[in-house]
Amino acid sequence: MMKPLVLSLIIVVTGGYCTTPKASRSVDALKPVAVTEPVVYDTDDPAIWIHPSEPENSLIIGTDKETGGGLYAFDLQGKIVRKVTGLQRPNNVDIAYGFRLNGATYDIAVVTERETNQVRIYSLPELEPLDGNGLPVFEGEQQRAPMGIACYTPPGNEGIYLIVSRKNGPAEGYLWQYKLEDNNGLPALKLVRKFGRFSGRKEIESIAVDNESGFVYYSDEQVGIRKYHADPAKGNEELALFGKGEFRRDNEGISIYKLDDTTGYILVSDQSRHSFNIYPREGVAGNPHQHVRIASVPVSAMESDGSEVTSISLPEFAGGMFVAMSTDKTFHIYRWADIAEKAGLKIRK
């Protein structure tokens, strides 16, 4: 049975409106195994890179979102081991494996750089730039400012696609999907579609792609989570809008825990509650697009914007790892086994 949330609400009046202080968190909040070293400005979004042969050398990749910010690589204990600084408001980051470029194959971190209207690409684990000076997105639009990004690698590793969101956009076609290509030894983006509804309520930042199932999810903040096919050939029909009315204010970071190729959990940040709502990845019996909340887990991370999870076992993280951004300039690192025990969920064997 899911444990009830115990919240203490303190109202502070500032400048004519009410706010809920960051300290107003559940007394039952899950404690992290480790907390990363702080960045300079403002953590925003993490990703997890799995080393192909040495799991102990896997990395947590995270953004420091500000003018002059950067991209950081942390070890599994949260220590900074590598960084790129001087980026112009790097927002979200995602990872793809096996990008073929100029005769070589790379694992890559892709990052939105909001103030330059570009996507940046770095090799892993080195964090060496592969893109020259960046790849422009949303060209020809008045509203650009890229924020969210997610990689889609179809079964069979038939290329890599990037799905990008922005600070503001139209009611239809808010997200743009690009194919990442090799153009004479340099990466290039080929626009393949514009899709995705937007309520107009706030913005769309968090995006997550389920490669095996072939779906893309994104947070239409203050409305819910929208679901589409990740494969452009399957059309732009909205498959689901779930989580409506189940978040205090903003629904934010999305991550997907995979028990196998079809089952698992979708975790979505209930930002102002300092918790994560959890939904079945496979939907319900008879309807794979009906995602009903099955648990809510309070965490110690404050007002989490972005998150990532893996079900691959790592040293000290049997059954997987969950990473959540926190507003104290850090990322919090949790054992999936602790989340599963708290919420009555399964662990990948």
Could you give the 3-state DSSP secondary structure of residue 199?
Answer: coil
Contact 268, 219 (CB under 8 A): yes
Distance of CA 226 to the CA centre of its chain: 14
Q: Can you tell me the distance from the alpha carbon of 30 to that of 324, in angstroms, rounded to the nearest whole number?
A: 12
Q: Can you tell me the distance from the alpha carbon of 131 to that of 121, in angstroms, rounded to the nearest whole number?
A: 6
| 132: alpha, beta or left? (left if phi > 0; alpha if psi -120 to 50) | left
Beta bridge mates, 99: 106
| 201: alpha, beta or left? (left if phi > 0; alpha if psi -120 to 50) | alpha
pLDDT of residue 307: 98
pLDDT of residue 25: 59
pLDDT of residue 158: 77
pLDDT of residue 43: 98
Please state the pTM of the whole predicted model.
Answer: 0.92
pLDDT of residue 129: 97
- Give the pLDDT confidence of 193-243 residue by residue, as tens digits: 999 999 999 999 999 999 999 999 999 999 999 999 999 999 999 999 999
pLDDT of residue 6: 37
- Signed CA dihedral, 217, 220, 221, 224: sign only: negative
Closest CA to 271 of 295, 246, 292: 246
Q: Which residue has the tokens 């609400």?
A: 9
Q: What is the largest CA-CA distance in the chain?
A: 60
Q: Can you tell me the distance from the alpha carbon of 123 to that of 103, in angstroms, rounded to the nearest whole number?
A: 14
Residues 6+ away with beta carbon under 8 Å from 203 = 147, 165, 167, 168, 221
Tokens of 45: 């979004």
Mean pLDDT by 10 residues, the chain (349 residues): 37 33 66 98 98 97 98 98 98 97 97 98 98 95 96 89 97 98 96 98 96 97 97 97 96 97 97 96 97 97 96 98 98 98 96
pLDDT of residue 7: 35
